[in-house]
Structure 1
């Protein structure tokens, strides 16, 4: 059962974030109905606040509005995964290229620190910490790329990608060695950026996304090929 704590201001953002994280983590399962009166009862907020949160979640692709049924947590499908990871490969590859060209030395150091934190999180085996630390790595990457438009596009994409990351981390059949492969891939990206080799940075980033897609597809069935 979803439990949303009653927060102080800014209440709207807190409620939205709690709902978003509940969907990403699977506490609100795909296909689950989001009944307004139940959400109001759990949060103690107004119908207006709940509806604003639901509209935002719909715009992020996390829920869908079904006629005569209302808001429902969006199902995870192979078609969506292939689409998301194909787009992710292109956008993150471009972000890596721009980072190599534009990032300050301090941002490169910050990216390395974020990657070290991600490796520590993987070694600790805490899924929530892994997700947070990996998100931090990508936040630094996108900021250092220096393109607000690209950062905004990737940000919207990553809200949906997070669901697949969480699925992979919690899957009983996930490869125990995949995290090591992921860290190697991220370090290859970092090394290219340190060298200011934009072409190599884009290439290694696309390759890492391809490997991530292949692992997701292996877990849920289908081909992990990303063009």
Structure 2
């Protein structure tokens, strides 16, 4: 009879914690696009080894939040108009499908989970807390992806989810109407919970319409800097 190997509980590694800390500063705007990310400075500030910081930056590069330049180190990624267009069209496909699938498979339990996430967003909007709004906005959409129970859809979303978070922050920054953001999400959740798959898919895609404004805004900036 084979002996079972002893299970080991692995706590979150220092590399993961470092990546979490740097990611939070990027998504909150503390480290804006273009900011240099120096291993020595980050190592001293986070009280971690340069090797740990290097591993964290590699993870953030994979996520699309950091760019690495040969012989020049790393910098925080910014969204170009092309980046925004790609994320806009990809969100339409992924989140539209997820909303449709969830509406088709909605249950009382899923409805309760979804409404809990919605109320967190509504609270953030009413308080005027932009960072909290961005976080709850993303959390609601990720919950829709997860509740769709489509594993491959979830896997594809996970690859770009940090870039989508950056995209949401950027969209909200040029769309200051907190009440409109709240109403958009309330309409989406209402369509899903009512089981209207076609309408849910349409609203999910139309809700992403702020992306068009972001694309136009970034194009204007690029033309100005040419």
TM-score (norm 1): 0.83
Of 81, 102, 125 in structure 2, the residue corresponding to residue 99 of structure 1 is 102
> Is 1:159 aligned with 2:162?
yes
Question: Contact 1:107–1:140 at 8 Å: present in 2 too?
Answer: no
Write out aligned runs for 1:50-89 (5 A). Answer: 50-89=53-92
1:164-175 correspondence to structure 2 within 5 Å: 164-169=167-172, 171=173, 174-175=174-175
Count of aligned residue pairs for this structure pair: 210
What is the deviation of 1:176?
Answer: 4.1
Whether the 8 Å contact between 1:104 and 1:144 is mirrored in structure 2 is: no
Whether the 8 Å contact between 2:65 and 2:76 is mirrored in structure 1 is: yes
Query: Runs of 5+ in structure 2 lacking a partner?
Result: 1-10, 221-226
Matches within 5 A, 1:113-128: 113-128=116-131
The alpha carbon displacement at 1:129 in A equals 1.6
Deviation at 1:113, TM superposition (A): 2.2
Q: Does 1:46 align with 2:44?
A: no
Tell me if the contact between 1:16 and 1:53 (Cα under 8 Å) persists in the aligned partners: yes
| Superposed CA offset, 1:13-51 (max 9, x none) | 221111111112222222222111221111222222112
- Rate the CA distance shift 1:77–1:121 in 2: closer, same or farther, 3 A: same
Q: Distance in 1 between matches of 2:175 and 2:73?
A: 37
1:175 to partner: Cα distance? 4.4
Query: CA, structure 1 residues 14+164, in 2 after alignment: closer, same or farther (shift >3 Å)?
Result: same
Cα distance in 2, alignment partners of residues 97 and 189 from structure 1:
11
Q: SS of the residue aligned with 2:204?
A: helix
Say which SS state the counterpart of residue 31 (structure 1) adopts.
coil
In structure 2, C-alpha distance between the alignment counterparts of 1:88 and 1:9, rounded to whole Å: 30
Residue 134 of structure 1 is matched in structure 2 by: 137
Counterpart secondary structure, 1:80 = helix
Q: Is the 8 A contact 1:25 1:163 kept in 2?
A: no
Deviation at 1:9, TM superposition (A): 5.7
Is the counterpart of residue 203 in structure 1 residue 185 in structure 2?
A: no
